[in-house]
Chain A
Amino acid sequence: MNVMNEKKNLMEGIDERSSWRDVTPGGFVYGSGNSEYFNTGDWRTRTPVWKPDNCRQCLLCFPVCPDSSIPVYDGKRGDFDFGHCKGCAICAKICPFGAIDVISGSAGAQGSMK
């Protein structure tokens, strides 16, 4: 997982401060998989909270996350990617072991943003 971190961001340096001369022709986006660079986590109004003590690492949660915000390393899930989690709570609903609570608010919005 997280192969994105090894890739070069071809849109590096083009942002909301760029001159019109530097915005790509046609607004083309160079490279792929670059939604990682778009922080959608601050859209969140509810926030999942992982309780590692209850978690059995059954890994039912990570494939249902629509935002790929549950990282898995060496066969085990880690804490949420709050830079991208939108707080939909699907993971909490699927978890058979009560290992995910959902609290209101956007806690951790800037948390693990890469």
Chain B
Amino acid sequence: MSGNQAAAEAIRQINPDVIAAFPITPSTEIPQYVSAFKADGLIDTEFIAVESEHSAMSACIGASAAGVRAMTATSSAGMALMYEMLYVAASDRLPIVLAAVNRALTGPININADHSDSMGARDSGWIQLYCENAQEAYDNLIMANRIAEHPDVMLPIMICQDGFITSHGIENIVIEDDSEVRTFVGEYRPGKYLLNPSESLAVGPYSVSPYVIEMKRAVHEAMVKAKDIVRLVSEDFGRAFGREYGFMERYRMDDAEYAVLLMSSAAGTGKDAIDALRDKGVKAGLVKLRMFRPFPARELADVLKRLKAIAIMDRSDGFSATGGPLNAEVRAALYGEADVKATGYIYGLGGRDVRVEDFFAIFDDLSGLAAGRELPYCRYIGVRE
């Protein structure tokens, strides 16, 4: 089953009230499968075939404000076209679920994987979970509604998988029993909602400056609380289905001296490289960050502080001239907490493969860094020099 199929299967089991989506490679298949489920009578979701992603997110906002579960899927430029409404969804505190399939943002036009699309939405107030493979895409989607809809949270959530590598790669995955998933996900009981005949309500009103900062402060608080809720829902998921999820996965980290930190599908290649390095006696490990929003700064610092050197790998360039967003945020998390030598890499843009050899080169760099060699704050890897 591909990552897109896995996402669609999760959506079939969740059976949301509304899906509003517009096709864009590589996430197109998700709404396509869902509309087939609808045609086959497997779900009773209202499928809204909108004319753009801006409309898709707007329709989700309307549906969610009305008081129902709303979901969508998108990629790349489609997500960029949603940006305006992503902020509205978060500010309106609407627990919309977005199945994101990461693809490079256009410029130059390209359809392959990198994280520039969802990284552009990192400050929007959406929770973001990143997935290594189809199983994780499925599992995280099953958890998504409960995280987003928790009364302490009430924030939208995007579940990100890598375009083509995960979305179109075929793997064996475990699909849980429909009724068990439905029991786990549960019913959505909105607090205040527009279609409540006994209460009138206005959603998304203009907010004058005496209120905006208070509303943002409330979103900030919800994001702080979301950490606990992601933990609780993940623990519950582990009890129900036997697969454990934390804020990050630590691979061979117990006695590691050097580690790479990254997100999503490249972790698979990284683990292969680490197994090979371990065979040669290199104390290599890998940290795969699952939760980018909220950002688990303290927990990351705890995991990284014992290491001699780390490599922080971004699948998008923030064009700050100092590297990508992960590089900046992980270093910020370490500042004042841990004195670990670090260097950043930009890799995999526009679907460029990251290879086992690239990881070997990175671990070579790390042992040099630990031995006192000067390395740049951030540089590209897998690029033709």
Complex Cα spacing A25 to B155, Å: 10
B192 at the interface (CB under 8 A from A): yes
Give the bracket for the number of chain B residues in contact with chain A: 20 to 34
Q: Which residues of chain A have C-beta atoms less than 8 A from B94's C-beta?
A: 26
**Binding site of A, secondary structure by majority: helix, strand, loop or mixed?**
loop
Q: Is the CB of A27 within 8 A of B215?
A: yes
Complex Cα spacing A31 to B205, Å: 13
Q: Within residues 80 to 118 of chain B, which ones have a CB less than 8 A from any CB in chain A? A: 91-94
B40 at the interface (CB under 8 A from A): no
Give the bracket for the number of chain A residues in contact with chain B: 10 to 19
- Beta-carbon contacts of B37-74 to A below 8 Å, as 1s and 0s? 00000000000000000000000000000000000000
Q: Which residues of chain A have C-beta atoms less than 8 A from B221's C-beta?
A: 20
Complex Cα spacing A29 to B215, Å: 13
Q: Is the CB of A28 within 8 A of B210?
A: no
Select the residue from A19, A21, A28 with max chain B CB neighbours within 10 A.
A28
B203 at the interface (CB under 8 A from A): yes
Q: Is the CB of B202 within 8 A of A20?
A: no
Q: Is the CB of B201 within 8 A of A25?
A: no
**In angstroms, how far is the closest chain B Cβ from the Cβ of A25?**
5
Residue in chain A with minimal CB distance to B199: A30
Q: Is the CB of B91 within 8 A of A20?
A: no
Complex Cα spacing A16 to B208, Å: 10
A104 at the interface (CB under 8 A from B): no
B207 at the interface (CB under 8 A from A): yes
- Contacts A25-B93, A26-B92 hold; do A32 and B214 have CB atoms under 8 A apart? no
Select the residue from A27, A29, A31 with max chain B CB neighbours within 10 A.
A27
A-B contact pairs, 10 of them (CB 8 A): A20-B215, A21-B218, A23-B214, A23-B215, A24-B192, A25-B218, A26-B215, A28-B203, A30-B192, A31-B201
Known pairs A23-B215, A29-B202. 19 more at Cβ < 8 A? A16-B210, A16-B211, A18-B214, A20-B213, A20-B217, A20-B221, A23-B211, A25-B154, A25-B191, A25-B192, A26-B154, A27-B91, A27-B204, A28-B92, A28-B201, A28-B202, A28-B203, A30-B200, A31-B200
Binding site for A on B (CB under 8 A): 91-94, 154, 191-192, 199-205, 207, 210-211, 213-215, 217-218, 221
Binding site for B on A (CB under 8 A): 16, 18-21, 23-32
